[in-house]
Amino acid sequence: MKLQYRNAMVFAIALTMMFAGSAFAVDIPVADWAALIAATPASGDVVKFNAGTYTVTAQVAVVTGVTYQGDAGGGTILDCGGARRAFTSFATPGQTGWTLDGLTIINGLSDATEVDGVSSEDGGGLILKNGASGTVSNCTFDNCDIDPTAGDDGSAIYMDGGSSLVVDNCDFLNCDAVSTTDPGGSDGGAIKCNNNASQLTVTNSTFTDCSASDDCGGIDLSNVQTTTTITNCTFTRCTSGDHGGAIRTNNDGNITVVDGCTFTECSSPDDSPAIQSNNIGSLTVTNSIFDRCVTTADGANDIVGMGNNGGSLCHIINNLFVGCTTFGASNRILDARGLDTKVINNTFVNNIPGDNALLDVNTVAGGSYVVANNIFTGNTISADDDLIEWEADPPAVMPTVANNLFFNNTVDAARELVSGSDQDQRLEFQPCELQQV
């Protein structure tokens, strides 16, 4: 008996120590938005929504460590009525470890209403600031917009101030950062990630018919000096009024990794309707498809472009470019720049660059440059250009150009498949050897 009593006491003490200072995690059902506003969840709790439509009457600040869970069968719709956003995470410091899961947020609008002493006119569905961090999974953002009179950014999601966010298995539909008063000031049709320390990871998500009146209809990264990873995502008909129809990174020091993504019919009037990487950063694009992407105006345009010779790394590996078109002078399909540049194992089919080469690789002293194992077929090059141009600067920087296959391309007889530099320096070109099997 004494042994049983002692064991019971030890068990009781252990439980007391385990849960001291905290409450048991609980499920908190919310029948309407008023119930959500009135709820007081604690870290570890799960706020559970029913199937059906909730009318969002005020933006709600998420709570650290709380999961906001849609109905398990789907069909939880949060309707912002074109008047406000649904959620905020910008206390000081920002809330961390929270999750939005299985929710459909529709008709969101960026809202300057003050929450926790902070106001912002960015982010039509969700906004993060002040080091906030969380996860958005299995959610849909549909018809979320910025206030068209304010020139804001990030129609579905806006983040800055060292915040971090994981987006997984989400859909972004018809999200528009379009300003009527400041068309040149609204970026990020779906997501805008801003500020040096902010961290964004996006996986298994779709971006459809998203647009911005300025830069980037899909994911816009500005002044972000961390690693951004975008994996297994689909961008369809994403458009911008200026740079980067689907993805734009404009950062010194940013590392952007794009893997297994598909870009279909994305467009921009200026640079890079699919991906633009500007300033001194690193860009890696692997295992992706660029299908019928197009620039819509004259200028220095590329389907994928890295816009600064000082970029530390530009790796374009194992991708398919098919049916893409650029218009006007200095327009290419791929513009690759960086101290470490590799264009390897790509296939280019039926593309039409404007008045420039299909592939343009710009070099700087001390760099390393490889164009190898690529296939070029059915492409049409203007009469004034070669299929591949390499502007060596200085001429002593020599590329490795090897084992590329060219067939059924239209290139002017006076031009070359692989050109020399501006100094008319010829490059050694080694065609692949075809062996009968």
pLDDT given for residue 216 in this prediction: 84
Please enumerate in sequence order all residues whose Cβ is within 8 A of that of 110, keeping only pairs 6 or more positions apart, or say none: 85, 120, 121, 122, 123, 124, 127, 145, 146, 147, 150, 152, 154, 155, 158
DSSP class per residue in 117-130: TB--S--SSEEE-T
Mean pLDDT of 409-426: 64
Closest residue by Cα to residue 349 from 324, 322, 375, 371 = 322
Q: Are 421 and 392 a contacting pair, CB within 8 Å?
A: yes
Q: What is the pLDDT of residues 78-124, one digit of tens each?
A: 999 999 999 999 877 889 999 999 999 999 998 777 665 555 778 88
pLDDT given for residue 212 in this prediction: 84
Q: Is CATH 2.40.128 what the domain over 2-431 is classified as, yes or no? A: no
Is the predicted pLDDT of residue 413 greater than 80, yes or no?
A: no
The whole-model pTM stands at: 0.88
Closest residue by Cα to residue 275 from 297, 304, 241 = 304
Is the predicted pLDDT of residue 57 greater than 90, yes or no?
A: yes
Q: What is the pLDDT of residues 294-320, one digit of tens each?
A: 987 766 568 887 655 456 788 999 999
**What confidence category does residue 141 fall into, taking pLDDT thresholds of 50, 70 and 90?**
very high
pLDDT given for residue 299 in this prediction: 60
The residue whose two tokens read 């649904």 is 86
**What confidence category does residue 371 fall into, taking pLDDT thresholds of 50, 70 and 90?**
very high
Structural domain boundaries in the chain? 2-431
